[in-house]
Chain A
Amino acid sequence: MRLTELRKGDRGTIVRIQADPELRNRLHSFGIIPGEELEVKGCSLARQTMEIDVDGTLIALRKEEAEKIEVRKEEDA
């Protein structure tokens, strides 16, 4: 599923990033890399932007960019 489908408080693992090399490099340099875990910390109105936590770094993403990140949601035990 896509990152945009996660809600606030959801956790997941990054599976794949489907973006052009430029954006992928950018995401990489922030630590957004397949295999890493993330948690959705919050969304702005109309879910235009979202805030995620990857390895202790808080990162803000626009909807368009978040859609390119494929994640596997961690189901609550």
Chain B
Amino acid sequence: MEKEKIKVALVGQPNVGKSSLINAIANAKLHVGNFAGVTVDISEVNTTYCDPEGCEEYEITIVDLPGTYSLNDYSMEERVTKEFLLNEAYDLIVNVVDSTHLQRNLLLTAELLELGRKMVVALNMIDEAEKEGIEIDAGQLGVILGVPVVPVSAKTKEGLEALKQKMVEVYKKPQTESKIIYSDFIEEEIDRLVAFFEERHYPSDIPYRHLAIRLLKEDTQIYKRMHDEPIWIELLPILREALDHIYLHSGKKDIKEIFADEHFAFAKGAKMEVISTKQMRAKNFTQKIDNLLINKYLGIPIFLFLMWGLFQLTFSLGQLPMDWIQAGFDWLAVETHRVLGDTELASVIADGVLGGVGAVVSFLPNIIILFFGIALLETTGYMARVSFLLDGFFHKFGLHGKSFVPLVTGFGCTVPAYMAARTLKSRTDRLITLFILGFFSCSARIPVYVLFAGAFFGAEHAGNILFLIYIAGALFGLMAAKVLRVFVFKGEDDPFVMEMPKYRLPSLKLIYHVVSGQSMDYLRKAGTFILFASVLVWFASNYPKNPELEKRFEARIEQAASPQEKARLQGRLQEELLARSYLGQVGKATQPFFAPLGFDWKLSVALEAGLAAKEVVVSTLGVLYSLGDATDKGIQALQDQLKRHVTLPVALAFIVFVMLYVPCFAAMAVFKQETGSWAYLAYLFIGTTGVAWVFGFLTYNVVKLLV
């Protein structure tokens, strides 16, 4: 039998336990729905309900809309939620309400009621409210709101079946009018407009009362729709008069504010009527923790310690499986060569595909641990405190308090850092953070720094140089943020007004959903791009083939007297081959671009190959300076070669360039995914390369003058 399908829009303010509720209702997996033009993820989940009386089965699809405090177009989430509620097809709204913050939550409920859709209110966290000594008369609240109210708890699973049952009941019933009653002076005007429509028998697909309210609220959609109708001419003076009356009575000139006041009066009134015992008992728990965690002096040290712990975990615990994965892929590559022989197919699979995919997969342990930590910090309510503590400092640079987490993550790896920027709710804050993240040197650049710092300053100073590089990068990032805020992403600052949610122990299931979802996302999207990119780099460095050269060298290698001579020739061959490959040709062609910085074609090629991944810079230099793979021969030999061929000003300019230009293909792929725009990726590429060039140029020339 075909099941009847019900589509439910789940709406609620942030931190009301919407995600927990949806996870508790449906045991099935959350999946992200595709909605055009939406960069905020909207997830959907399916569940079934069997009506025992009618013996009917229902398939309920619940659309989890982003949490929103009101329908004001304030943030991206609010816009997404509002657009969905107004324009998409769905059968009913389930409004999730936090029982422990009833009044504030009812403000949104009032706005939702004005949409005139079928609705059920889920009074979530009812167990917590009881613990806090708050008793809510759900039946009475239902009477006041005019829609069914079901007390539920995602934690204890109480009321979940009842909620589903109510959804089906409401779905089957015809549309009912919202019961919000406004102040007399507004009701009068509503009546007047309704009377006017009745008199004209105006054909309307929405109830007259609802139409009148939306007209009074200056709802642009309704205005646009009615603007071209003949009735508009007659309606206009009546409407204008009605608004004038309302302004006169309220003493205010802003209709939005007037209705906000109405909602507030409604919410407050409703709360007063349904909450019987008002005894604040358990609230001290959050207060006590806050006294410590956001303490003026202790707060920041505690936070830094926690972050330090998280990064230690990420990059030390993550290192083990990372090595295993890398070893696994290396083994696969070797096996591929063994099985397929010395063929092109073996080369493209082993060196191209496995190399690239291996790099992506090997980041996975880091990403999982980091996401787990961030999800934990976020769901417990701690992240909001962090923003509170750090906003003062970051705000000076045009960043948001929450930018801290992605920025610090950037020191580890830019890929998860881009994804960590999702915690930023404002799009401007997020874009600025994404743009400057590359300046925070990731760990993959360490080999390059170590190589050059060791060669030119000696191993004993390398540590200090490394530290200086990191600080310089971070300062660059902060300055860049300021510049972006002042010149590019202009406009007034986003106000910093946010809720500090109560501390909660998150459910493992919820964290599992968040982490697994984000990890799969990473694998899927970064994986496909890096696959393409690594095959491209493989191709560029292996083609065109040069059999003549190979034959000539092979002959000489055959005749070589000593094993050392053989190895030297082998290296020479690789160098010559790479020089003649497309990558080498590109390097030579672009060398004029790098000439003002003092780079020869070898350094240029290394930088371009470094687009694939920064580690590649070192291995490419190894090949170019006839050493084969530098990691085999030891870094010392390569450093000797560098000192012979490269001057100090050039070396410093090279370090600066590596510090500032884009991290790698994987990072670029994720950047594109997170910003959702190819244009932004182009800006990032051009912008960072430009900055790297300019500062490389300055470094080269200034140091040349000094030395």
Chain A interface (Cβ within 8 Å of chain B)?
Answer: 21-33, 41-46, 48-49, 51, 55-62, 64-65
Contact = CB atoms under 8 A, between A and B. Distances in A.
A21 B392 contact: no
A24 B261 CA distance: 11
B257 interface: yes
17 contacts: A21-B256, A21-B257, A26-B74, A27-B497, A30-B499, A33-B261, A41-B287, A44-B296, A44-B391, A45-B297, A45-B300, A48-B392, A49-B401, A56-B100, A60-B496, A61-B497, A65-B497
Nearest to A60: B388
A48 B395 contact: yes
Contact of B101 (A22, A24, A33, A57): A57
Contacts of A60: 384, 387-388, 391, 496-500
Given A44-B296, A58-B499, A65-B497, A22 B74 contact: yes
A24 to B, nearest CB: 7
Interface string B99-142: 01101100110000000000000000000000000000000000
A5 B445 CA distance: 48
Contact of A48 (B256, B283, B391): B391
B256 A25 contact: yes
Contacts of B384: 60
Interface string B67-97: 0011010100000000000000000000000
Given A22-B74, A44-B388, A46-B392, A51 B500 contact: yes
Contacts of B100: 56
Among A27, A28, A59, the one with the most B-chain Cβ atoms within 10 Å of its Cβ is A28
Contacts of B495: 23, 26, 62, 64-65
A49 B104 contact: no
B500 A59 contact: yes
B69 A29 contact: yes
Contacts of B327: none
A27 B295 CA distance: 25
A29 B108 contact: yes
A44 B107 contact: no
Interface residues of B, number: 46
Contacts of A33: 260-261, 264
B107 A31 contact: yes
Contacts of B498: 59-60
B226 interface: no
**3 A-B pairs with the lowest CB-CB distances in the bound complex, closest first:** A48-B392, A62-B496, A29-B70
B389 interface: yes
A29 B500 contact: no
A64 B500 CA distance: 18
Among A21, A46, A49, A61, the one with the most B-chain Cβ atoms within 10 Å of its Cβ is A49
Nearest to A59: B499
B161 interface: no
Interface string B292-334: 0011110110000000000000000000000000000000000
B254 interface: yes
Among A26, A29, A32, the one with the most B-chain Cβ atoms within 10 Å of its Cβ is A29
Interface string B361-385: 0000000000000000000000010
A56 B70 CA distance: 18
Nearest to B107: A29
A45 B401 CA distance: 13
B39 interface: no
Nearest to B381: A58
Contact of A62 (B254, B395, B502): B395
B296 A30 contact: no
Contacts of B300: 45
B69 A55 contact: no
Contact of A65 (B107, B290, B496): B496
A51 B388 contact: yes
B289 to A, nearest CB: 11
Nearest to A25: B72
Given A51-B500, A56-B280, A65-B496, A28 B391 contact: no
B183 interface: no
Given A22-B74, A59-B497, A65-B496, A49 B101 contact: no
Contacts of A48: 391-393, 395
Nearest to B261: A33
B386 to A, nearest CB: 11
A26 to B, nearest CB: 6
B493 interface: yes
A23 B395 CA distance: 18
Interface in B481-515: 493, 495-502
Contacts of A22: 72, 74
Contacts of A26: 69-70, 72, 74, 495, 497
Nearest to A62: B496
A19 B460 CA distance: 57
Contacts of A61: 496-497
A43 B391 CA distance: 12
B221 interface: no
Nearest to B385: A60
A26 B68 CA distance: 11
Contact of B294 (A21, A51, A55, A62): A51
